[in-house]
Amino acid sequence: MFDLFSDAAKVAQQMEIICSEYGFALWETMYSLLLEVLFSYVIGLPLGVLLVTGEKEGIRPLPRWLMTVLNAVINLLRSVPFLILMIIALPLSKLIVGTKVGTAATIPPMVIAAFPLVARMVESSLREVNQGVVEAAQSMGASALQIVGKVLLPEALPSLISGGTITVGTILGYGAMAGIIGGGGLGKMAINYGYYNFKFLVMWAAVIGLIILVQVFQSAGTRIAVKCDKRLRNRS
Amino acid sequence: MAGIIELKGLSKTFGTGENQVSALKNVSVSVEKGDIFGIIGLSGAGKSTLVRCINLLERPDQGSVLFHGKDLTELKEKELRLQRRKISMIFQSFNLLDQRTALDNICFPMELEGVPRKKARQRAKELLETVGLPDKADAYPVQLSGGQKQRIAIARALASDPEVLLCDEATSALDPKTTGQILSLLQTINKERGITVIIITHQMSVIEQICNRVAILDSGEVAEIGDVVDVFSNPQSQAGRRLVSPNVAEPALDWDIPIARIAFNGSVSEEPVIARLVTTTGIPVSIMGAATRNVDGKAFGTMLISLPEDPGKKKEILDFLNGCQGVSAEEVTEHV
Ligand SMILES: Nc1ncnc2c1ncn2[C@@H]1O[C@H](COP(=O)(O)OP(=O)(O)O)[C@@H](O)[C@H]1O
Ligand SMILES: [Mg+2]
């Protein structure tokens, strides 16, 4: 696996594969990442908000049984191993995107795996918001919706962005695994060429690409989170 | 006359079983329009619970909260929200939005009401002037001192044009000088805008400085209620006496000059009395010690002054002082 450069012919062949396929794999990784993050937040963000606002002492308490069900479902989805979850959820893709194979087909299972994580992350970010500020808003006659939109989310923004960074990193990891069940991208490239075809140079190129992506998103996310946090005196 | 805010028979219990705490027990308080009403009590007396019942941040178990005669506890949520805009609140920990500038914090209540942004910003700028921080519009809370944060919070509280301002320990996190400044700001707001102010505090000095009426809260019950001058000069309840008891100034043992002890019962302010004493009698005296409390410009407590050796002059001074309304004076003999 580590003897990469001793056979010149193999190297040339693998370089060719990298040159011709790397760009497309990267693009597939990026666009499925984008869609997965998007849909995970479309579902996870409102759920995370409900987990905070809906509890007994929250700003808009929901029925106890509903909160119990919500928490149980999220915990359940969080505890099933990702690969198993993907395989169980794959039939759903047929319903939603019309096919069980290909990159698009892996998006619904990934969203199902990721939105509970998003919900929990949003929940914990919102819980960090100073309760006194929420009370102040209530004392001014703010509605529950106004409190969510004008107090909870904006005040938690730096923390939400940090959470988003973690989500992106996790989904990138999921995406690499999705290569096993037919999802395209760098993950598939690594598994197909490396694991199944012994083209380790290609595999390493794909893996390093993923590593760089995670690094880039992580440092960009951290930087943005710090930059937009007005509680930090020396920046702004 | 019915008060602008009337609390009738409020009771509130927290917890159950062994942890049960009766924070309020049948509390009734009436606040008149234009009052600066103080609510004082020791920590845990139920002051915060009481003030939070006024805008129903806390729902009382029993009793009613009348605002202009209307019972807020019976309102639907939407109506309650509208009424809350007329009852602003400031807090010990300021509770500003950390991610917004001072100006945007002040705009916040106007945003809630749907005031157009341009108009809101204009008004926010005026309010910044009112609270004396016109140059802090773009500062974030982290860049402001405690006193400045409370000024911004006051400006924000005024933005919805309230009739009542609730202050829960609004100066307790501030140093004495800043406390004084914030209190005078509240006084100005009360005078100039006719806003009724309700002040929660555990500090006597706060009540003395600006309140006209006071309620003493003791273990969830109103121990005493009335004009500040009356309650402080002649407290009827145990809790009241404990809070007010003016310390008695004691002469030091080694003073070998004659000393007079003057007692002020609150009819006058001490400074003019001493000034008049000196100008009328032409005898200089020095103030040796004082334990007085100024309530509404009136002095309570005792003061020690030096007396001349000459018995005639001594008598002249004592006679003058005893002739003043609300003042009694006698020579102290126990220290020689
Ligand atoms: N949310 C709450 N849950 C349980 N106990 C509370 C709560 N709020 C206040 N209390 C209790 O009620 C009593 C009065 O509290 P509070 O009104 O905050 O007093 P103060 O403001 O005078 O210090 C205290 O014993 C306090 O522990
Ligand atoms: Mg309190």
Q: What is the pLDDT of residues B4-14, one digit of tens each?
A: 999 999 999 99
Nearest C-alpha in A relative to B143 = A233
Q: What is the pLDDT of residues A157-169, one digit of tens each?
A: 999 999 999 999 9
The answer to whether A170 and A95 are in contact (CB under 8 A) is no
Whether A236 is covered by a domain: the verdict is no
Q: Residues A54-80: what's their mean pLDDT? A: 95
Q: What is the pLDDT of residues B211-250, one digit of tens each?
A: 999 999 999 999 999 999 888 877 788 788 777 755 666 7
Name the residue with higher pLDDT: A75 or B284. Answer: A75
Name the residue with higher pLDDT: B253 or A40. Answer: A40
Residues of B in contact with A154 (CB under 8 A): 97, 99-100
Whether A23 is covered by a domain: the verdict is yes
Nearest C-alpha in A relative to B96 = A133
Residues near A3 by beta carbon (within 8 Å), at least 6 away in sequence:
A200
Q: How far is the CA of B229 from the centre of ligand 2 (A)?
A: 24
Cα angle: B223, vertex B45, A141; to 5 degrees: 110
β partners of residue B289: B304
Cβ–Cβ gap A154/B97 under 8 Å: yes
Write down the residue that tokens 């710090």 correspond to: A226
Q: How far is the CA of B3 from the centre of ligand 2 (A)?
A: 24
Residue B60 has pLDDT above 80, yes or no: yes
- DSSP helix/strand/coil, B30: strand
Domain interval for residue A176: 2-230
d(CA B145, CA B13): 36
Interface test with A, best of B67, B85, B99 (most A CBs within 10 A): B99
Residue A236 has pLDDT above 50, yes or no: no
The residue whose CB lies within 8 Å of the most ligand 1 atoms, and thus the one to mutate among B10, B11, B12, B14, is B14
Q: Whose CA is closest to atom 3 on ligand 1?
A: B14
- Name the interface residues of A facing B (CB cutoff 8 Å): 130, 132-133, 135-143, 146, 150-151, 154-155, 157-158, 228-233, 236
Q: Residues B322-329: what's their mean pLDDT? A: 84
Cβ–Cβ gap A232/B81 under 8 Å: no
Q: How many domains does chain A have?
A: 1
Interface test with A, best of B58, B91, B95, B106 (most A CBs within 10 A): B95
How many other CB atoms are there within 10 angstroms of residue A64's CB atom?
11
Whether A103 is covered by a domain: the verdict is yes
The answer to whether B274 and B268 are in contact (CB under 8 A) is no
Q: How many CB pairs under 8 A join A and B?
A: 77
Whichever domain contains A196, its CATH number is 1.10.3720.10
Q: Residues B42-48: what's their mean pLDDT? A: 93
Pick the closest to residue A134 from A114, A115, A153 (CA basis). Answer: A153
pLDDT band at A49 (very low <50, low <70, confident <90, very high): very high
Model pLDDT, residue B243: 76
Q: What is the pLDDT of residues B180-217, one digit of tens each?
A: 999 999 999 999 999 999 999 998 889 989 999 999 99
Q: DSSP assignment of B257-288, as one string?
A: S-EEEEEEESSS-HHHHHHHHHHHH-----EE
Q: What are phi and psi of A6, to 5 degrees?
A: -75, -25
Whether A101 is covered by a domain: the verdict is yes
- DSSP helix/strand/coil, B7: strand
Whether A235 is covered by a domain: the verdict is no
Q: Residues B137-163: what's their mean pLDDT? A: 97
Residues of A in contact with B166 (CB under 8 A): 139
List all residues whose CB is within 6 A of at least one atom of ligand 1.
B 14-15, 21, 23, 41, 43-49
Q: What is the pLDDT of residues A117-142, one digit of tens each?
A: 999 999 999 999 999 999 999 999 99
Q: How far is the CA of B47 from the centre of ligand 1 (A)?
A: 8
Cβ–Cβ gap A140/B88 under 8 Å: yes
Whether A52 is covered by a domain: the verdict is yes
Name the residue with higher pLDDT: A229 or B270. Answer: A229
- Residue A231 is nearest to which of B55, B93, B98, comparing CB atoms? B98
Nearest 10 degrees: Cα torsion B292, B293, B299, B303: 0
Pick the closest to residue B55 from B106, B5, B9 (CA basis). Answer: B5
The chain-wide mean pLDDT, for chain A, equals 91
Residues of B in contact with A230 (CB under 8 A): 98-100, 140-142
Nearest C-alpha in A relative to B79 = A141
- Name the interface residues of B facing A (CB cutoff 8 Å): 55, 57, 80-85, 87-89, 91, 93, 95-100, 108-109, 111-113, 140-143, 160, 166
What ligand is nearest to the CA atom of residue B50?
Answer: 1
Q: What is the pLDDT of residues B90-138, one digit of tens each?
A: 999 999 999 999 999 999 999 999 999 999 999 999 999 999 999 999 9
Q: Residues A177-191: what's their mean pLDDT? A: 85
* Report field, pTM of the whole predicted structure over 0.90: no
Model pLDDT, residue A145: 97
Nearest C-alpha in B relative to A139 = B84
Q: What is the pLDDT of residues B259-274, one digit of tens each?
A: 888 888 777 777 788 8
Q: DSSP assignment of B188-228, as one string?
A: HHHHHH--EEEEEES-HHHHHHH-SEEEEEETTEEEEEEEH
Amino acid identity, position B297: G
